Structure 1
Amino acid sequence: MPSLYWDADVVIVGGGVAGAGTAHALATVGVSSIVLERSADFPELNRGDVIQPLSLGLLDKWGVLPHIHGYQVVASGIHHRVHGFLGEWGFADLEIDHPHQTVLRHTNIHRALHAAFAGHGDLVSVRRGARVSAPLFDDRDGALRGVTGTIGGEPFRALGRIVVAADGPASPLRRAAGIRFEQRYRYDHVHLMTTCPRPDAPQLDHRTARYVGADGITMIIPLDGGTQVRVAVQLPVAEEMAWRALEPGRLWRRMVARAPMLAGAPSALAGEPHTYRAHLAHAERYVQGNLCLVGDAAHVVPPTLGQGMNMAMLDADVLAAVVRRTLDGAATLDLYDRLRRPANEIVLASSHEQTLVQTATGPEVDEHVLRNYAWLADPVRRREVAERVAGLHNKTAEQLGILDLAGDCRR
């Protein structure tokens, strides 16, 4: 028998945005959970910095928003090296509680989610440094009862009536359940991510900037209260290692050539660059018995529209309402699959379409850039883009009718 034994209504494997968000959403409806997070600290990741308006509303409902100390972004400008400023779209005209994005380092989002657990009393138990080794099945009926693993060298067993896989795109729990994860598209580029001091550029005042053109997209995202910026440079896969091998001065000059706005930065790079390849993947289903998938364990989306965290938090919101109803005997977990998977399918398709447009390369991109971005002059089109990025086309648990306005599930 393991020396450590824990139990709760729900066992959550993974304590990142998806797992921690699920624990918050469950606590909001009175469901207890154990969060098992492999990392003992809060690692720095060069992505996942932008929280969309709909997600800000969910964080507010969960009591996390007071712990979020980020930089508000109200619009996104699109630029071209030759033609200059093409236009911008933003959230100011949307009738929502949070008409902006909030940007902060991913590690600080992670820290805020965990700091806010104190507001849920005994409903959330977090075990950091917990390395899950195997699912635990009931010999009688084959149902998943929990997981086993080690923490600090000691074996543990964590049991729950429901298990949530928030353990990333490689999800061992998803594989153990036999759920197929379809890799639908692997893009022919990587993103080189780094940070630098904010350039002296009014265009970055509560705004992000995107340079489009023959080389692909280069994104500039304010960080740390606007004092720094995250820069994502699109590169062909074949050029990844050559760019990574550049000494800092040459790398900086190449980045400025791609995004001239960076020339106004008071100094060059801050920290080592990081690269990752974008891809699109979707699980064939989100529920198998009493195992549910959330976040990257269920879907992987390219970063073009910044929807990864948005999707994960909506997963958490809807799953919590379904779990509450399931524990009350008023629904089954399959309801979560029926509600969320089709909605996420639409987001994946939209993100894929925009990724192909914004990351297109070649001389014809420069030739047709004014025509391709003429929609920036159309207020209706700009509003459509803002609504889609904000997440307003996706329904929360309340809008789906499985939560009442007080946040309690209907019996």
Structure 2
Amino acid sequence: MVLVVEQRKAVVIGGGIGGLAAACGLRAAGWEPVVYERSPELREVGAGLSVAPNAARALDWLGLGESLRAAAQPQGIGVKSRSGRWMVRLRETDLVGRYGAPMYAMHRAELHGLLVEAVGSDGVRCGHRAVGIDNHPDGATVRFETASGPTEVAADLVIAADGVHSRTRSALFPDHGGATYAGYVCWRGIAPAGAVTPRNHPMWTDTWGRGGRFGAAPLTGGRVFWYASAGGAEGSMAQVGLSDLRERFAGWHDPIGALLDASDPATLLRNDIYYLGDPLPEFAVGRVGLLGDAAHAVTPDIGQGACLAVEDAVVLAQSLARHSDPGAALRAYDRARRPRTQKLAALSGRSARVQQTGHPVAAALRDLAVRLTPRRVYLAAGAEALAWRP
């Protein structure tokens, strides 16, 4: 057994977007964080993601706003029917006028890379799988499994950003039921440059059918991020590939077929979708805090998963800067973050049920309501998520 003691330092569990953003925020607050990642190398597996105006402001606060704008594609957002008819469309100028920033789309790996560069390779330890945690009056100890054997790391503060199925959350709240299955499966991919004709006004488009959806967002360099979803039992459709998706979405509007045809089957991702439908009583216990999906996982339906994690990192840093006692800082972080994020997690679950409905009458009424709602109402409704500022 090896014991490593990190005095006046913070341990971050998880080297994804939330964990790395937390490390950036901790440094801004005067701490010396070390990120512990279970994978043998630091890389982000995924396709595209949205950086909404609230997250753009959070990245500005972390000093990464300029890098974001250089790597991301600004755009508007809209919803279509499967025939291609616009049901609602908010252009980039609409979002900038209301929220001061557009929607940005970028490859998940590119945002991850910006955060890795900001943290630095010396601030990350790969090949460390967290298997246990113990709180102490003046800190916490994390137990890791590594290729060379078990290791314990003691620190004044531990931030767990270990995802929707967080082991740390289970250790802190053993009676919590864990993540809730949202009722659908999602596939994601990237179509290379040239797959579709570029548009003059880039638009993140979500197309709704009965029991399924297809979304697409242009990325820099002419690439297009796309995702497809279908309702089904947990663990179902494990063998569905691109050819199956092509058949499933046959007859849907262009360029859905072209995007599927142009994508590499080897890069197709498939995930059951989960969220934290059962809210936690708190996001911090002693010197251990939860961040991102570990604390408040949302479904992709509201486009806020990575955004809320980056917000968390900013609020955590601000709380630590204002409170000399780490425990008090974590309690302030909990008070600031729990109401907002749990409300959005519940909203994401409801949105999933509405957007994924397979009932023909319910789907028709949903589409009619979307078409009849004025654009200004959609802009105002987005304030719940998009108007947040550090």
User: The TM-score by the shorter chain falls in which range?
Assistant: 0.7 to 0.9
CA distance, structure 2, for counterparts of residue 92 and residue 235 of structure 1: 32
Partner residue of 1:59?
A: 59
Q: What pairs with 1:217-232 in structure 2 (closer than 5 Å)?
A: 217-223=213-219, 225=220, 227-232=222-227
CA distance, structure 2, for counterparts of residue 227 and residue 42 of structure 1: 26
Quick check: 1:190–1:277 contact (8 Å CA) kept in 2?
yes
CA distance, structure 2, for counterparts of residue 199 and residue 365 of structure 1: 34
2:161 counterpart of 1:166: yes
Quick check: 1:67–1:115 contact (8 Å CA) kept in 2?
no
Q: What pairs with 1:17-32 in structure 2 (closer than 5 Å)?
A: 17-32=17-32
CA distance, structure 2, for counterparts of residue 371 and residue 266 of structure 1: 28
- The root-mean-square deviation of aligned C-alpha atoms, in Å, is 3.2
Secondary structure, in 3 states, of the residue corresponding to 2:24? helix
CA distance, structure 2, for counterparts of residue 62 and residue 369 of structure 1: 39
2:335 counterpart of 1:338: yes
Quick check: 1:5–1:156 contact (8 Å CA) kept in 2?
no
Query: Are residues 182 and 339 of structure 1, via their aligned partners in 2, closer, same or farther at CA, if it must alter by over 3 Å?
Result: farther
Query: Are residues 5 and 156 of structure 1, via their aligned partners in 2, closer, same or farther at CA, if it must alter by over 3 Å?
Result: farther
Query: Are residues 327 and 125 of structure 1, via their aligned partners in 2, closer, same or farther at CA, if it must alter by over 3 Å?
Result: farther
Give the length in aligned residue pairs: 384
Quick check: 1:214–1:364 contact (8 Å CA) kept in 2?
no
2:273 counterpart of 1:278: yes
CA distance, structure 1, for counterparts of residue 80 and residue 200 of structure 2: 12
Secondary structure, in 3 states, of the residue corresponding to 1:283? coil
Q: Residue by residue, what CA displacement relative to the aligned partner does 1:293-326 show, whole Å, maximum 9, x if unpaired?
A: 1011111111011111111111111112222333
Structure 2 unaligned segments of length 5 or more: list them: none
Partner residue of 1:400?
A: none
CA distance, structure 2, for counterparts of residue 48 and residue 264 of structure 1: 18
Secondary structure, in 3 states, of the residue corresponding to 2:309? helix
Query: Are residues 367 and 19 of structure 1, via their aligned partners in 2, closer, same or farther at CA, if it must alter by over 3 Å?
Result: closer
Partner residue of 1:401?
A: none
2:363 counterpart of 1:361: no
CA distance, structure 2, for counterparts of residue 291 and residue 366 of structure 1: 44
Query: Are residues 261 and 329 of structure 1, via their aligned partners in 2, closer, same or farther at CA, if it must alter by over 3 Å?
Result: closer
CA distance, structure 2, for counterparts of residue 358 and residue 11 of structure 1: 39
Partner residue of 2:90?
A: 89
Q: What pairs with 1:350-389 in structure 2 (closer than 5 Å)?
A: 350-365=347-362, 367-368=364-365, 370-375=367-372, 378-389=374-385
Q: What pairs with 1:312-351 in structure 2 (closer than 5 Å)?
A: 312-327=309-324, 331-351=328-348
Amino acid across the alignment from 1:20 = L
Quick check: 1:42–1:111 contact (8 Å CA) kept in 2?
no
Secondary structure, in 3 states, of the residue corresponding to 2:318? helix
Quick check: 1:77–1:203 contact (8 Å CA) kept in 2?
no
Q: Residue by residue, what CA displacement relative to the aligned partner does 1:205-232 show, whole Å, maximum 9, x if unpaired?
A: 4211111122432111223x15222222
Q: What pairs with 1:94-105 in structure 2 (closer than 5 Å)?
A: 94-95=96-97, 99-105=101-107
Q: Residue by residue, what CA displacement relative to the aligned partner does 1:59-113 show, whole Å, maximum 9, x if unpaired?
A: 2222233444433232112211336222312452445785122222212221110
Quick check: 2:210–2:360 contact (8 Å CA) kept in 1?
yes
Amino acid across the alignment from 1:234 = S
Partner residue of 1:408?
A: none
Quick check: 2:20–2:116 contact (8 Å CA) kept in 1?
yes
Secondary structure, in 3 states, of the residue corresponding to 2:323? helix
Q: Residue by residue, what CA displacement relative to the aligned partner does 1:237-290 show, whole Å, maximum 9, x if unpaired?
A: 2597558345x4453343343443224559532233222222321322101111
Secondary structure, in 3 states, of the residue corresponding to 2:19? helix
Quick check: 1:243–1:251 contact (8 Å CA) kept in 2?
no
Secondary structure, in 3 states, of the residue corresponding to 2:173? coil
Secondary structure, in 3 states, of the residue corresponding to 1:132? strand
Residues 17-26 or 364-373, more deviating: 364-373
Query: Are residues 334 and 72 of structure 1, via their aligned partners in 2, closer, same or farther at CA, if it must alter by over 3 Å?
Result: same
Secondary structure, in 3 states, of the residue corresponding to 1:298? helix
Query: Are residues 337 and 204 of structure 1, via their aligned partners in 2, closer, same or farther at CA, if it must alter by over 3 Å?
Result: farther
Amino acid across the alignment from 1:206 = P
Query: Are residues 257 and 36 of structure 1, via their aligned partners in 2, closer, same or farther at CA, if it must alter by over 3 Å?
Result: same
Quick check: 1:210–1:217 contact (8 Å CA) kept in 2?
yes
Q: What is the aligned-residue identity percentage?
A: 23
CA distance, structure 2, for counterparts of residue 180 and residue 324 of structure 1: 32
Secondary structure, in 3 states, of the residue corresponding to 2:205? strand
Secondary structure, in 3 states, of the residue corresponding to 2:336? helix
Quick check: 2:16–2:44 contact (8 Å CA) kept in 1?
no
Query: Are residues 187 and 329 of structure 1, via their aligned partners in 2, closer, same or farther at CA, if it must alter by over 3 Å?
Result: closer
Quick check: 1:171–1:297 contact (8 Å CA) kept in 2?
yes
1:25 deviates by 1.0
Quick check: 1:81–1:211 contact (8 Å CA) kept in 2?
yes
1:30 deviates by 1.5
Structure 1 unaligned segments of length 5 or more: list them: 397-411
Query: Are residues 113 and 181 of structure 1, via their aligned partners in 2, closer, same or farther at CA, if it must alter by over 3 Å?
Result: farther
Residues 367-376 or 52-61, more deviating: 367-376
Amino acid across the alignment from 1:59 = L
1:58 deviates by 1.8
Q: Of the candidates 225, 235, 246, which is equivalent to residue 252 of structure 1? A: 246
Quick check: 2:84–2:253 contact (8 Å CA) kept in 1?
no
